[in-house]
Every structure is written in structure tokens, then in C-alpha cells.
Amino acid sequence: MRNTGLEKLDGLVGTWTMNLSDAPFLPPGTEVPGTATVEWLGEAFPIMRMEFDEGGTTSETTVVFGRSDANDAYVALYHDERGVCREFAMTFEHGHWTMLREDPDFHQRFVADVEQDRILGRWEASEDEGKTWRKDFDLTFVRA
């Protein structure tokens, strides 16, 4: 039986084209295309698989979304091809999606506006425990 709190994430399910842009670590004007697929892992967890093609090198990321009923809170578990694993606190309300981690190495967040067929988001990082934030890159999803 599916958790009713996770049903809010049903709008993410499907196939998306992605575009990574405005990244200070890339040459100005560079855009990196990608795809994302979100599906249910059984009845328990939505899982997002993302791929980017960075000039012949494929970058893969997986995010599993879950929920703590007792804390009335979402959680996102992140893994990428480098072997990096991260946990994010997550909110998803009224067309606004956030993921936040406050770890000793640095703080990081994803902030997005969610529409039916488009998600406009950006990744940000903070090296001073969230006092100031710098943009890592913009990330746009369009339903395929």
C-alpha cells in the first residue's frame, strides 16, 4: 500500500529531458543535456535516475525519495557515479521543491518551482554553514 504522504510526488513520475546551465565550472554559455526518469520502486519509494552526457562521458545520479511519518518529513538519498552518498531533508509543497543538506564538509541545497510539465531549479552550495550561498548551476526539466 502506497504511503499517502508520498503520493504528492506522483507529479514527478515520468520521463524528463534535462538541461544543466549557467555553471561556473563550465565555459560560459555551455549547456549539458540529460535525461531523468522517475518511477515507483514497488509501492514504497519514488526513485529518480538521471544521466548527463558531458562530451562523451556519461554522468549518472540516483535519488530515492522517502518519508518519515513520525516526523512528517521527506528525505532524499543521493548517489552518483563517483560513489558519493548524501542525505537531504526535503520539502514538496504548493509547486515548490527543496532539498537541503547541512553536513560538516559543506551545505548544499536544491530549490525548484514545479509545474505540470516543467521544473525550473538550481543547485547552490555554502561553505559557511548556510550564511551565504553560491549557485552551482541551473537545472531545467521538461516532460518528454
Distance CA 101, CA 98 (A): 10
- 85 in the Ramachandran plot: left (φ > 0), alpha (ψ -120 to 50) or beta? beta
Query: Has residue 117 been placed in a domain?
Result: yes
Query: Has residue 48 been placed in a domain?
Result: yes
Cell triple for 133? 550561498
* Bridge partner residues of 43 (DSSP): none
Query: Has residue 62 been placed in a domain?
Result: yes
The number of distinct structural domains making up the chain is 1
Cβ 117 vs Cβ 142: under 8 Å: yes
* Bridge partner residues of 66 (DSSP): 75
pTM beyond cutoff 0.75 = yes
What is the model's pLDDT at position 99?
A: 98
Residue 122 C-alpha from the chain's centroid: 9
What is the model's pLDDT at position 66?
A: 96
Contacts 24+ apart (CB under 8 A), 83-90: 90/65
Q: What is the pLDDT of residues 5-63, one digit of tens each?
A: 899 999 999 999 999 999 998 999 999 999 999 999 988 899 999 999 877 788 999 99
Query: Has residue 87 been placed in a domain?
Result: yes
- Residue 66 phi/psi, 5° resolution? -140, -175
Query: Has residue 78 been placed in a domain?
Result: yes
Averaged pLDDT for residues 96-106: 95
Query: Has residue 27 been placed in a domain?
Result: yes
Query: Has residue 105 been placed in a domain?
Result: no
What is the model's pLDDT at position 56?
A: 76
- The boundaries of the domain holding residue 43 are 6-96+113-123+137-143
Query: Has residue 107 been placed in a domain?
Result: no
Residue 84's pLDDT band (cuts 50, 70, 90): very high
Residue 114's pLDDT band (cuts 50, 70, 90): very high
Compute the mean pLDDT over every residue in the chain, rounded to the nearest whole number.
94
